[in-house]
Structure 1
């Protein structure tokens, strides 16, 4: 599903962005998962070495400037490596502690932050969002659209948008930069922020503007990837009385020791931000300073005030591994409980019924691997996953006790469509009891 979403993203023009010099790896500032020998957790070190060959190959042939990977089993890291360059032009090596834009991986973090409030009884999943954000009352659904002048007609929605529908992308809210041409045109006319690379402004007026736009479909009837989780970020602000960045720091990042995860990086971390790359005439080149949607590649280093709960965070592979391990542990890590085990179960089970989301289903913030999906990917049924537009991916496999992450910083990914499938296949080939499966 994510690959189809990424294929709809903007085409960026021009080349030649200037990236800041990157710092050498610093002493870890965040809590990290402990390391272990692969064999101690049932992983073949010889088979695991295949990951080196797979990832190094993409760097050697120029398709990726650099890539970072992490594999953990039973809460212990057995593979954590970086290949290639953080800055390919300056030949600065990439290090595993590099900070990268995680885009839509922000969604899972925002969803967890919201579900902490759910555990406190602050809302119910099937509450209408208009109960807390009145601008969403009496929603309307797009009926017709004139591409020539971007005018449209609407019909009344048959029901209010619920919080559950926002968590599952079945609200009918689209995206300002991906998805249908209708959504892009309507949101652009209304000056609805894209959620990524938009440092200026604040959530309150932006989400109010979004609330007055037509839905792309009737609530609950279709999976429409969009700004739903940005709405949930604003809901967190209303329920908690805190700006989203402060809330997530106090209730997610600090308890988990995620000290390198920010919407906008403090000065002492800005040099660790990896430059963003793109594809131009078959080559991998620096992302231009402004594309057709005025995306600034250096937006995490700005003094921003717009906190996109759907795509605004930057982080390290180590920070996000701890976050995912917390989920795998049933909502707790390092003596800090963020969620009830029953809430983690809710989040990682199908919450969209028969609604189509490709081969898989969707929970509350995560895509859930179905038997059909597992047959294609080799993951266990019930694994949960997602990723980000700039080339970051993750999955958690509860059956195999796995947390796996793969990070690059490049968009689009036309010349690396097989990267994640090959990496995933190599990971599962390394599991000792799966050695009969030939890589």
Structure 2
């Protein structure tokens, strides 16, 4: 079994719900039965027949035990569903909006918005040097050859900034992307993000995680960068590092900050770094997929998941478990420009800036996952849409032009083993084309 990457957010060259064709469907979408007059969630597969057929195909072929899509409009308090399935292949319990999923890099927009809160409050600056908050990032060195010796370096030409951390342009690496001596150093220092399994995973180096977020930050700063800050888009550990920035700037530990400033006011009672034992009955099983295996392999069973253990380092880049209902509430807050249920969670300007394209035109995105697109505070920003995907096949986005929110939830790795995301986007496009014609 080979897991080349355990955190791959690529969802295709078309970002979710973007482009003129989608916007032209806006009038048709307003006629869909997705309104608050419906008091409880229900399946809207009849309105999205191609999406429904796509989910049914994956479920009936036993590629995944569950595949749930959640659709919501504006500030309607209920998301409606397409698809379903069970918590695992061996379970008879049906998934629903309250089932728990490892969302991995869908944690990044959450951390990005937490960062934007502090920018909005003047506690940090968008273009402030990180070294002013975390002194260990002063005097950074840059590798001459990203796969070569850690001693063959040149000084960084400019300081790392908060903007660069939010947009993966700080020159930092990631344990899933770096190679050679730097990969060994990342593993040796426990510089990891989201957790995968209690058992060894071929293709991933063995490691002992850093003991806490402060130590994690210091160890990351002790290693050289793979590119000059501000030059290239390189998927990185930068969003994890923002967890430590948030701690220092707010005077509050990262997990408590998210709980008190985002989860509680948004009504996200099922989003955790550590799944409580009382909630294990809602936790899905994560599967490993490989062409050499006849069936998917359970690499993290819900009943004994590694996410039942408290992590030594809460990963803002990939460590959260959440439900479709909870994440929909986060998206709904963004669509409300910081408000949900009449309560302001974050400033309107913070949302508008955080979901916009924060990449300077000088940044090289050639060959990257976001080539030709933009990047905001922890997520892809293209046109009127903002969102990101997770390593176990999940995906979520808001589209301000359509006043719509969408989440895709399933659990398998690596995400590129199946074309679920591309198939999902294609199915949405087909259904919207029909809606336009009907309108």
- Report the TM-score range of the alignment, normalised by the length of the smaller protein: 0.7 to 0.9
For structure 1, the 5+ residue unaligned runs are: 1-5, 12-35, 291-295, 370-380
User: Structure 1 CA distance, aligned partners of 2:300 and 2:387?
Assistant: 31
Q: Partner residue of 1:416?
A: 418
User: Structure 1 CA distance, aligned partners of 2:410 and 2:348?
Assistant: 32
Sort the Cα spacing of 1:393 and 1:10 in 2 relative to 1 into closer, same or farther, 3 A. Answer: closer
User: Structure 2 CA distance, aligned partners of 1:55 and 1:297?
Assistant: 27
1:277 counterpart SS class:
strand
2:289 counterpart SS class:
strand
TM-score under structure 1 length normalisation: 0.81
Q: Aligned residues, how many?
A: 389
What is the CA deviation profile of residues 70-116 of structure 1, one whole-angstrom value per residue up to 9, with x for unaligned ones? 01122334631442221102444333311011111111111111211
Structure 1 segment 10-21 matched on structure 2, within 5 A: none
Sort the Cα spacing of 1:179 and 1:401 in 2 relative to 1 into closer, same or farther, 3 A. Answer: farther
Higher relative contact order (CA 8 A, sep 6+): 2
For structure 2, the 5+ residue unaligned runs are: 8-29, 36-43, 197-207
Aligned with 1:350 (options 337, 349, 357): 357
Q: Partner residue of 2:5?
A: 9
User: Structure 2 CA distance, aligned partners of 1:80 and 1:286?
Assistant: 27
Sort the Cα spacing of 1:433 and 1:337 in 2 relative to 1 into closer, same or farther, 3 A. Answer: farther
Q: Partner residue of 2:324?
A: 317
Q: Partner residue of 2:374?
A: 361
**Are the equivalent residues in 2 in contact too, given 1:82–1:95 (CA < 8 A)?**
no
Sort the Cα spacing of 1:163 and 1:81 in 2 relative to 1 into closer, same or farther, 3 A. Answer: same
- 2:32 aligned with 1:38, yes or no? yes
Q: CA deviation at 1:145?
A: 5.8
**Are the equivalent residues in 2 in contact too, given 1:230–1:308 (CA < 8 A)?**
yes
Q: Partner residue of 2:99?
A: 98
**Are the equivalent residues in 1 in contact too, given 2:147–2:178 (CA < 8 A)?**
no
**Are the equivalent residues in 2 in contact too, given 1:81–1:96 (CA < 8 A)?**
no
User: Structure 2 CA distance, aligned partners of 1:321 and 1:340?
Assistant: 19
Q: CA deviation at 1:297?
A: 7.9
Computed over aligned residues only, the root mean square deviation of the Cα atoms, in angstroms, reads 2.9
Q: Mean Cα displacement is larger for which, 208-217 or 427-436?
A: 427-436
Aligned with 1:278 (options 274, 288, 292): 288
1:435 counterpart SS class:
helix
Q: Partner residue of 2:202?
A: none
- 2:251 aligned with 1:257, yes or no? no
Q: Partner residue of 1:232?
A: 242
1:185 counterpart SS class:
helix
Sort the Cα spacing of 1:277 and 1:353 in 2 relative to 1 into closer, same or farther, 3 A. Answer: same
What is the CA deviation profile of residues 268-327 of structure 1, one whole-angstrom value per residue up to 9, with x for unaligned ones? 11221111101132444233369xxxxx98221113332111111100011011101111
User: Structure 2 CA distance, aligned partners of 1:251 and 1:52?
Assistant: 36
User: Structure 1 CA distance, aligned partners of 2:276 and 2:62?
Assistant: 32
Sort the Cα spacing of 1:310 and 1:335 in 2 relative to 1 into closer, same or farther, 3 A. Answer: same
**Are the equivalent residues in 2 in contact too, given 1:47–1:429 (CA < 8 A)?**
no
User: Structure 2 CA distance, aligned partners of 1:432 and 1:179?
Assistant: 41
Q: Partner residue of 1:72?
A: 72
Q: Partner residue of 2:233?
A: 223
User: Structure 2 CA distance, aligned partners of 1:254 and 1:145?
Assistant: 42
Structure 1 segment 29-428 matched on structure 2, within 5 A: 38-39=32-33, 46-76=46-76, 77=78, 79-144=80-145, 151-181=150-180, 183-197=182-196, 201-280=211-290, 281-288=292-299, 298-354=305-361, 355=363, 356=365, 357-369=370-382, 381-417=383-419, 419-428=420-429
Sort the Cα spacing of 1:401 and 1:430 in 2 relative to 1 into closer, same or farther, 3 A. Answer: farther
